[in-house]
Amino acid sequence: MDTETLMKPRRWISPLLGFALMGATATGAVAQSFPDKPIRLVLPYSPGGVVDTVGRQIGEHLGNELGQPVVPDNRPGAGGMIGASAVTRSDADGYTLLLMDPAIVINPTLQSKVPYDLKDLRVVSVVSSSPLVLVTTPQLKISTVDDLIAYGKANPGALNYGSAGVGTTPHLAAEFLQQRTGIKATHVPFRSISQSYPGMIEGKIQFSFSSIAGALPFTSDKRVNAIATTGAKRSPVFPDLPTVEESGQKGFVVDLWLGVFAPAGTPDAVVEKINEGLRTVLKRPALIKAMAKVGVQPNGTTVAEGTDFVKSEFDKWKDVIETAGIKGAAGKAK
């Protein structure tokens, strides 16, 4: 074989290698210069709720860490779907992010029409964890999960439970408990979990799964009984309460987690830079203290950990929703 033939592969390989090196250099340059303008953080609920409060706190600290403002942008409506959809249609450059709760993985199964697809988003990090608390009416002498299960089995049709609306995490947590234990209870949806408490105090509602922030005003003065929390470990807000899992329901973990998402196609290097910034600020005592006031604990996963977690949450709630035959009504408040 002559010298010219031997050289032919190099004529093809060399340009391809050059393009690859140019691409790697360009990606590195983008990550190095990012961010060079403000970042928009879409908060898909109205001001004042947990997502809004935590989002503003994280945004302020992340902006300081990255050297550019992180500007909150409230886009409420349709159970978070309007804000999520807006992010999927944004440029995939890292300058538009979404902070979202479990509704991001619940809506695609629950709702008949969803204006976004999960494949159009990528996980940046799961930034916080917040278990629910299982609360019961003081009208019944129920002080443990076992008591609740025993009462439900002994009194078919006697249990009512409140929630913040069809398809919300408190609703699905109660459905999850029924599927695990075989008890039957009637769902009484409200516009917010706080509206269920008067009925629980009077004994018309026997139990609810509630956010910790929503429960504290009622558990602190014993107007309702807190009997367990739903995290993988005990809540620092209720350290003396066992988890539902500790109470014998192995695998029963329900979390009002919050995650940061970016449009699909956002460069890996940019996503990693935002992820690193988030994990740094989530260790700051000032942010930890501020989040604790609304019953939220900082988390801060890697991109891979967050992606795996969100996938597992989608699978879990899809199974619960389909088993219960729940149909949602878009627009219910969280």
| Per-residue pLDDT of the chain in tens (334 residues, 90 and over written 9) | 444 444 444 444 445 555 545 554 445 566 688 999 999 999 999 998 899 999 999 999 999 999 999 999 999 999 999 999 999 999 999 999 999 999 999 999 999 899 999 999 999 999 999 999 999 999 998 999 999 999 999 999 999 999 989 999 999 999 999 999 999 999 999 988 888 999 999 999 999 999 998 899 999 999 999 999 999 999 999 999 999 999 999 999 999 999 999 999 999 999 999 999 999 999 999 999 999 988 899 999 999 999 999 999 999 999 999 999 998 764 333 3
How many beta carbons lie within 10 A of that of residue 53, not counting itself? 18
Predicted local distance difference test score (pLDDT) of residue 331: 37
R_g of the chain, CA atoms, integer Å: 23
Predicted local distance difference test score (pLDDT) of residue 83: 97
pTM of the entire predicted model: 0.86
Alpha-carbon distances of 330 from 14, 167, 334, rounded to whole Å: 55, 10, 11
Say which residue the tokens 């910790």 belong to. 212
Determine the Cα–Cα distance for residues 175 and 265; give it in Å rounded to an integer: 36
Predicted local distance difference test score (pLDDT) of residue 105: 97
Predicted local distance difference test score (pLDDT) of residue 203: 94
Predicted local distance difference test score (pLDDT) of residue 12: 41
In order of start, what are the domains of the chain with their CATH numbers? 39-130+255-324 (3.40.190.150), 132-229 (3.40.190.10)
Beta strand pairing call for 96-100 and 39-43:
parallel
Predicted local distance difference test score (pLDDT) of residue 155: 95
Phi, psi of 95 (to 5 degrees): -95, 0
How would you list the strands of the sheet with 258-263, edge to edge?
Answer: 70-74, 39-43, 96-100, 258-263, 121-129, 297-298
Which of 134, 123, 119, 124 shows the shortest CA–CA distance to 174? 134
Predicted local distance difference test score (pLDDT) of residue 194: 84
Determine the Cα–Cα distance for residues 214 and 67; give it in Å rounded to an integer: 35
Predicted local distance difference test score (pLDDT) of residue 329: 63
Phi, psi of 294 (to 5 degrees): -110, 20
What is the 3 state secondary structure string of 149-172? HHHHHHCCCCEEEEECCCCCHHHH
Phi, psi of 70 (to 5 degrees): -105, 110
* β-strand partners of 229: 133, 243
Query: Is omega for the bond preceding 35 within 30 degrees of 0, making it cis?
Result: yes
